[in-house]
Structure 1
């Protein structure tokens, strides 16, 4: 780590004071945010004490702390956490998220093997209480979570910080322009930025990281694990369907994309009247709404929680569970990945590729620019510039099994070639893991 990371830079105190003062002024709006979100997702009404780092329990032994903002980042971190849980079962893990869906995913993946709390707001008092309570030996932050007070707090307490699977789009870099003097100083306190790509590495350096702080390790998402029991899942799906039907999947869709999904399905069913749509909205609060939207379109609608499997005669089947999307990808002939027909930035394109499903997406892919470019070049992805072109691509794929197989093979090969970031990341952080907890030797037996 550069020596500058260990001491305060000129101007840091004034910038931190201004930033913290602004956060305190805005703190009433955090309550407003929790309340308004709570009307849509009831979980936002719970565990407010964690949001402000008020804990009713006594501090435990030091931990390794990993922060993953929501479901996508938790899934990206899963191979790393699983590997370290296996290598070092003695480590106490604390994983933070910001969203309730992230919390649910942590629990689904690791149950009681790890502790979960919400990351507190970046107020000086809250971050200090969080760090004092959990006493992390090491901090691992996924992708692009740059909170100045918590980064400075880790520096002040001598906690090494790694930003893993780090990505920074050109759009996000522009968004940091007003805070760049402060963010740059905070970034220079971290031990290493493990960037997904050379382009991400350059942007982190533009934001303020020293060149020697940044390494390009690749994308952990390529190390995605194919779900266990996938063949059995597919067989159960096919048996429940009861007949050979074409199937497409609309994944991680957002509110503004629902009308487009309905229009695409209506168009495709004009050619394949028995076509089934598997529909997985991005946010759980949209599950019921999407079922209503599909029913209002005149279709018979099923749902995973209620029906378990699609039933004969159903036109749309809503995946209203978390953690099963990859398995359902494997049941589809082609998949559309949402967050891409609106300027959201796209979602994980490697999951359908990893299970051998042809992938279609919209044009807004700034969060997955490097992955989408590589997939398109390899022939593993088709990009539609609007909903009409997405429908064109899906129609062409549903009509051409050979093209689907070629895309599936290209996607699987690309995922296999991209693997390796996990091992490089494990090697990177190994030196800062806590020393193994020594088990006391059993006492010698007393002489007879």
Structure 2
């Protein structure tokens, strides 16, 4: 199985390399790894994140450790350009790198260079050679905000290699009791329920949000529907309901903001009432009369939700929905597509009737009419979802206490 894993890793590299000739993200993935110089940081704590979302999820632990021991160096690695390019200059780290491809040589060289005293991986990332090298060097490896499901490869008859990766970890801080029980089924008893550190992050953000004067001007004391991290199928559906609610304003923040994507989005929206955020900042156009605002930059979404009343979270018609908790922390009831079962918080929110999953245009109409027209129900859902976030904070303290 290890041979197949190694072959798969190299085939993945070849696929990304081929894509880099016509795909900007793949080009950054290749170029970033080939140009970086990794410096010695002996005694550091190494944090690894798949992408930007995982960074925000693990950020409370990172900030707490930084505050607790300012003298300890912090090294951060990212797998994806969407995390590295945005956080490569974060003051929370002494060094930020792309994670080199998971080969035995790369893992040995990287770990022997940075010489971590502990490694902390967030949620999903499992790399055999890096885990093995940490294990061989007796370096503690912690998984935070982990969550496991029966359908994952760890619990399949053919998942022996992946089970061996888990057994190299020192401790798992997982989101729920079901994950603890699944790990016990494969003889891993080093897991405790700490909860999800994202709750700590979004709650802190909601209590001290960054003010956005331009967005406040756009809102102009009107009700705002915010669609975050949307994909084309989400946007096609949303474009059909905008005219049903003429007294609402709309903010759409696409997951990808390349010019081609933004132009396609503009094509399906009413041109006379739509404006791009870059148009405002570049030309300082008046915006109070515009009804639809397209956010064509990255980094604003978590602060945008403070100006909304209802949110739509994208990704549910693809691999899975994006972050519902950022909106939930501000008390916004949420709507999202059908692919949400892998996300515990989304299942909880639906159970609380503070979130609605939709699969087609008709269901979207029903959901938006309920949350946008029925002010009593919207108030009920808002209280429920905000209380849910508040009740689930505290994972960071539990993790720090256990790590010691």
Give the TM-score normalised by structure 2.
0.89
Q: Does 1:188 align with 2:167?
A: yes
1: CA distance, partners of 2:382 / 2:305: 12
* Structure 1 counterpart of 2:62, from 70, 73, 81: 81
SS at match of 2:40: coil
Aligned to 1:322: 298
- Match status 1:19 vs 2:19: no
Give SS of 2:143's match.
strand
Structure 1 SS opposite 2:307? coil
2:48–2:120 Cα contact (<8 Å) kept: yes
* Per-residue CA distance 1:303-343 (angstroms, 9 max, x = gap): 23331498133232112233321221121121111111x14
Confirm or deny that 1:150 pairs with 2:130: yes
* Alpha carbons 2:262, 2:296 under 8 Å: kept: no
- State how far apart, in whole Å, the 2-side matches of 1:114 and 1:413 are: 36
Alpha-carbon distance, 1:179 to partner: 5.3
**Contact 1:362/1:387, CA 8 A, preserved across alignment:** no
Give, in whole Å, the separation in 2 of the partners of 1:162 and 1:181: 20
Partners of 2:372 and 2:74 lie apart in 1 by: 45
1:346–1:366 CA contact under 8 A, matched in 2? no
Rate the CA distance shift 1:27–1:371 in 2: closer, same or farther, 3 A. closer
Q: Is the 8 A contact 1:144 1:168 kept in 2?
A: no
Q: What pairs up with 1:263-274 in 2 under 5 angstroms?
A: 263-265=240-242, 269-270=243-244, 272-274=245-247
Deviations 1:169-201 (A, max 9, x none): 344x15874751111112111111111112223
Rounded Cα–Cα distance in structure 2 between residues aligned with 1:316 and 1:291: 14
Give the alignment partner of residue 31 of structure 2, picking from 24, 43, 46. Answer: 46
1:197 aligned partner: 176
SS at match of 2:298: coil
- Residue 203 (structure 1) shift: 3.5
Q: How many angstroms does 1:414 deviate by?
A: 0.9
* SS class of match (1:426): helix
Confirm or deny: 8 A CA contact 2:222 2:249 kept in the other structure.
yes
Distance 1:291 1:26, change over 3 A: closer
Partners of 1:251 and 1:21 lie apart in 2 by 37
Report the 3-state secondary structure (helix = DSSP H, G, I; strand = E; otherwise coil) of the residue aligned with 1:394: helix
Distance change in 2, residues 1:229/1:160 (3 Å):
closer
Instruction: List aligned pairs for 1:266-345, cutoff 5 A.
Output: 269-270=243-244, 272-285=245-258, 289-299=261-271, 300-308=273-281, 311-340=287-316, 342-345=317-320
Structure 2 equivalent of residue 124 of structure 1: 104
- Compute the displacement of 1:228 (Å): 6.5
Does residue 31 (structure 1) correspond to residue 17 (structure 2)? The answer is yes
SS of 1:364 mapped into structure 2:
coil
1:362 aligns with 2:330: no
Give the 3-state SS of the residue equivalent to 1:111 in structure 2. coil
Deviations 1:232-273 (A, max 9, x none): 54x65333444x4332111111233332222233xxx23x33
Q: CA deviation at 1:220?
A: 1.1
**C-alpha contact (below 8 Å) 2:20/2:26 kept by paired residues:** no
Q: CA deviation at 1:211?
A: 3.6
1:214 to 169, 191, 203: 191
User: Residue 327 of structure 2 corresponds to which residue in structure 1?
Assistant: 352
Change (3 A) 1:317 1:84: same
Q: Distance between the aligned counterparts of 2:222 and 2:396, measured in 1?
A: 38
Structure 1's 181 and 231: CA in aligned 2 closer, same or farther, altered over 3 A?
closer
Could you list the runs of 5+ residues in structure 1 that have no partner in the other structure? Answer: 1-14, 431-448
Q: Judge conservation of contact 1:338–1:347 (CA < 8 Å) in 2.
A: yes
- Alignment counterpart, residue 407 of structure 1, candidates 381, 385, 388: 381
- Aligned CA RMSD, in angstroms, stands at 2.7
Deviations 1:152-177 (A, max 9, x none): 11111111111110023344x15874
